[in-house]
Amino acid sequence: MKRREGLAKLMGREAYVDDLTVADCLWGATVRSSCARGRIREVRFGEGFDWGEFVVVDHRDLPGENVIALIETDQPVLAAEAVRHVHEAVVLLAHADRDLLRRAVEAVEVVVEEEPPIFDFRQPPEPAQIQHGNDNVFKELKIEKGDVDKALAKAPVVVEGVFTTGAQEHVYLETQGMLAWVEDGVVTVKGSMQCPYYVQKALKLALGREDHEVRVVQAPTGGGFGGKEEFPSGIALHAALLALKAGKPVKLIYERGEDMVATTKRHPSWIRHRTAVDTKGRLLAQDIEVVLDAGAYATLSSVVLSRAVIHAAGPYHCENVRIRGRAVLTNAVPFGAFRGFGAPQSLFACERQMDRIASELTLDPVRIRRRNLIRDGEETATGQVITDGTDRLKVLDRALELSSFQHKRRAYLDFNDTHPYLRRGVGLATFLHGAGFTGSGEVYLASEVHVAGLADGKVEVRTANTEMGQGTQTVFTQLVTDRLGLKAEDVVIAEPDTARVPDSGPTVASRTTMVVGGLIEKACDDLRRRLGLGNEERGEVLTAALALWHRQHPGEELLGTAHYEPPDGIHWDDANYRGEAYGAFAWATYVAAVEVDLRTYTARVLDFVAVQEIGKVLHEVLARGQIQGGVVQGIGWALLEDFRFKDGAMANGQLTNYIIPTSDDVPPIRVAFLENPYAHGAQGAKGIGELPMDGPAPAIVNAVAAATGADPCTIPLTPERMMSVLEAREVAR
């Protein structure tokens, strides 16, 4: 089956929020802070504007609590007394004339009495810089197994390394946008988002309204990658507040520059490894410290940190592991969800460290991984015994074979000996990614799915899970056609609308196909049960039964339902970080071949192979597209996307100088899948959305190290950084 909404997208007929035409609609805009931290003294409305013509909203217009509801309640909808970052929203304006509105935003001055900001998340705060608790630490986590100190003291070899990664902007091609209106007393918000029920929760709290008084509808969404997980709650509130005050619909669409500077980013990280190994490269102890820059508010940092520490030890078995993590406040824009959710940072450090250990012991980087890769019956850092039966060595071998790894290594040695200024290298990364919410998360979500049997014989899938390009509509359709023996045109995917669909959880964490897809299958079975049919009854029998049921029950609704139930054997101890962190892991090995130009210090990826075991491939084209797209985002994060801060603000908030990969910057991404069906995933599938973000950076940087003999441990590895690591190599010699 081809992507369901594919032709509409190709023809430009998919109506995103900014494409919707609404009568008598105003444009909304946001006035932001003028500095990174301080007390708001005054808001001045400049001369030359008739401010009476504008709808003006500030914190005093909030009917409910001035809080964007998320895990914590620290982030205001609109700053009242104080600001914590330079892009913090203070005042909202609306007007029918968009050009006039743009000029008006410039004419509003937020006067702030500055207080000492803190920008370096590694630096202990001065007393005057403390803004959270007594140390600015939002969250601390610890995983401990065995006796790390003893193992480090006794080990023949200990390798230390420090790794840092930069912020990353999502650059979804459709910027953030919301349309809000009030109809029959119901505040309705429609726009670009991943999680309609997150938005609804935020609207209820800050607008002081009940469930039935707020309605949230997802418009077709032009990319998310985590950037539309939590951020849309705030912009939805802004649009709703303007619409309430204006008594008219309001459209609030971010322009690219505003979107780049003011929205959440991937957390910058600093990670230190101390690894004890024997002379053959067997891991004896892993002592890991993970520090994340959380930015000005808590957002999702505590759970990003959770995923980061759980993935920090990599796909290896080690008896003694200690992982300490903390997420720290700074006065930068709040960092938030981004594909991979902390795992790319910690897996970059882990996999770069594995190559550094191999180099220290003059071991083959393949051999050290082969020796330590977790085997069935062995435990992860949290004590989760892996018993999935996946042949992880086969994943590794397939990647080596497809990439001609050993052949390239030999050939590149000759090439490097003879070429005057080009150096080629090949590098790999082996890794894992846990699918679904961490620990007890899925139990707390308690997702619900409905499959409605309609009178015309069609079946409608009702979930809150959103299509943002990853293929949800197509995969959901396919799951129903396979389960019920229907044609694709007989399956309707309901628009995610909180007035019509149950809360099936957020569209995040690689959970939609695996978890929600599984619930859709169960709801299909329930629908059949309610029709008095057995699980083998399909197709026309079902259609006929639906028609009969509706004749016998005129005006009634027939719903098959399903609720999440955790698989047996899943236990998670959140206090001690022990147990089954995830129901399933996907396993992967990625190989990058890279060429470094010693004249320009640029690195170019020549070849990229991505091999992964993902349970079951439900749709070849969609699954491959997820991997290829994720890999290219990873290439950008590794080499190009250099997020520059100046006093906590993004200094390069334009696509002119924040560089993401073009088609000419990347080679074809060669993808292969291995399958080992997961009993609790839809048709055996495991989640794959985030997995491809984890492997590219370490594989590429390992390849650069192999090409040059340098020891790069910081990304993005821009030409400037490449120059300094190559110069450091010369000094070391």
Partner 1 sequence: MTKPEHRDIGFTLNGEEIRFSGTGTERLLDVLRYRLGLPGTKEGCGEGECGACTVHLDGVPVNSCLILVGQVRNRRVDTVESVAPEALVELHTSGATQCGACTPGVVMTARFVIDHPGLLERASVRQLMAGNLCRCTGYDGIIEGIAEALRQEETSP
Binding region for partner 1 (CB under 8 A): 2-3, 5-16, 18-19, 21, 170-174, 220-225, 255-257, 468-471, 621-622, 624-625, 627-633, 654-656, 660, 662-666, 668-669
Report CA 579 to chain centroid distance, whole Å.
23
Q: Which is nearer to partner 1, 6 or 579 (CB)?
A: 6
CB of 148 to partner 1, least distance (A): 39
Question: Would you state the structure tokens that stand for residue 123, as one six-digit string?
Answer: 């630096």
Distance, CA of 733 to CA of 73 (rounded, Å): 53
Cβ(320)–Cβ(286) under 8 Å?
A: yes
CB of 582 to partner 1, least distance (A): 25
SS3 at position 283? strand
Cβ neighbours, 10 Å, residue 98:
13
Q: Which is nearer to partner 1, 630 or 712 (CB)?
A: 630
Distance, CA of 118 to CA of 173 (rounded, Å): 32
Q: Which is nearer to partner 1, 552 or 663 (CB)?
A: 663
Distance, CA of 26 to CA of 248 (rounded, Å): 7
Measure the CA angle with vertex 344, ends 343 and 347; round to 5°: 80
Q: Which amino acid is at 41?
A: R
Distance, CA of 331 to CA of 200 (rounded, Å): 28
Distance, CA of 59 to CA of 52 (rounded, Å): 18
Cβ neighbours for 565, distance < 8 A, ≥ 6 positions apart? none
Q: Which is nearer to partner 1, 566 or 625 (CB)?
A: 625
Q: Which is nearer to partner 1, 263 or 543 (CB)?
A: 263
Q: Which is nearer to partner 1, 165 or 176 (CB)?
A: 176
CB of 661 to partner 1, least distance (A): 8
CB of 640 to partner 1, least distance (A): 12
CB of 665 to partner 1, least distance (A): 8
CB of 222 to partner 1, least distance (A): 3
Q: Which is nearer to partner 1, 125 or 227 (CB)?
A: 227
Whole-number Cα distances in Å, 180 to 244, 442, 495: 9, 31, 17
SS3 at position 544? helix
Distance, CA of 471 to CA of 655 (rounded, Å): 26
CB of 247 to partner 1, least distance (A): 23
CB of 639 to partner 1, least distance (A): 15
CB of 96 to partner 1, least distance (A): 12
Q: Which is nearer to partner 1, 10 or 411 (CB)?
A: 10
Question: Would you state the structure tokens that stand for residue 39, as one six-digit string?
Answer: 């007390």
CB of 503 to partner 1, least distance (A): 23
**Which alpha helices (H) appear in 567-690, and where do they start and end?**
620-635
CB of 475 to partner 1, least distance (A): 13
Distance, CA of 643 to CA of 687 (rounded, Å): 29
Q: Which is nearer to partner 1, 453 or 630 (CB)?
A: 630
- The answer for 637, left when phi > 0, alpha when psi is -120 to 50, beta otherwise, is alpha
DSSP string computed for 211-236: GGGEEEEEPP-S--TTTTTSHHHHHH
Report CA 9 to chain centroid distance, whole Å.
23
Cβ(178)–Cβ(202) under 8 Å?
A: no
CB of 590 to partner 1, least distance (A): 13
Which candidate, 692, 700, 695, 693, places its Cα nearest to that of 722? Answer: 700
What count of Cα atoms within 13 Å lies in the side-chain half-sphere of residue 218?
30
Q: Residue 672: in which H helix or E strand, if any? A: strand 669-674
**Which alpha helices (H) appear in 637-718, and where do they start and end?**
691-694, 696-708
Cβ neighbours for 431, distance < 8 A, ≥ 6 positions apart? 311, 314, 315, 347, 350, 351, 587, 588, 589, 590, 694, 695, 698
Q: Which is nearer to partner 1, 8 or 488 (CB)?
A: 8
Q: Which is nearer to partner 1, 125 or 636 (CB)?
A: 636
Question: Would you state the structure tokens that stand for residue 364, as one six-digit string?
Answer: 């083959």
Cβ(73)–Cβ(67) under 8 Å?
A: yes
Q: Which is nearer to partner 1, 20 or 443 (CB)?
A: 20
Q: Which is nearer to partner 1, 15 or 548 (CB)?
A: 15
Q: Which is nearer to partner 1, 255 or 574 (CB)?
A: 255
Distance, CA of 170 to CA of 47 (rounded, Å): 37
Q: Which is nearer to partner 1, 562 or 669 (CB)?
A: 669
CB of 655 to partner 1, least distance (A): 4
- The total number of residues shown for the chain amounts to 733
CB of 361 to partner 1, least distance (A): 35
Q: Which is nearer to partner 1, 3 or 248 (CB)?
A: 3
Which candidate, 354, 715, 375, 405, places its Cα nearest to that of 590? Answer: 405
CB of 344 to partner 1, least distance (A): 16
Cβ(246)–Cβ(235) under 8 Å?
A: no
CB of 301 to partner 1, least distance (A): 23
Question: Would you state the structure tokens that stand for residue 362, as one six-digit string?
Answer: 């003059």
Distance, CA of 42 to CA of 159 (rounded, Å): 54
